[in-house]
Amino acid sequence: MQLDDLKILICDDSILARKQMKDIINSIGSPTIIEAANGQLAIDMYKEHKPNLTFIDIVMPVKDGNAAISEIMEYDSSATIFVASSVGTQSELKKALAAGACDFIQKPIDKDQVISLIKKHIGGN
């Protein structure tokens, strides 16, 4: 699968964090990028667009990332979700992984880590 063929959902309440993630992804290709500013919007956007990959923050208004991960996984058990958060507590990370997230990126976001994660999950090197 080519990056340009993908739909990627980025969910973070910080517009700057979403822009940073978008810029990193666009530096290696041109996938369709969908944005959401809270967990409920992430669920709604996921159902509408069925993205191939989802990056989601944990601490957000309306609905937190862990609740959104749970609902997305109920809707689509094959969803590929990565947590990108500054909340590095073991309990929150365990909740995210238990809810169905496949991996975790600690903020501040590291460009090489994001690229490596995407390539790993789309079959690139």
Render pLDDT for 60-115 as a digit per residue (tens, 0 to 9): 999 999 999 999 999 999 999 999 988 766 788 889 999 999 999 988 899 999 99
Pick the CATH number of 3-120 from 3.40.50.720, 3.40.50.2300, 3.40.50.880, 3.20.20.70: 3.40.50.2300
What global pTM score does this model have?
A: 0.93
On the CB side of 23, how many CA atoms lie within 13 Å of its CA?
Answer: 9
Residue whose structure tokens are 């909340």: 87
pLDDT of residue 124: 59
Residue 125 has pLDDT above 50, yes or no: no
At 107, list the tokens. 């903020």
Radius of gyration of the chain (CA): 13
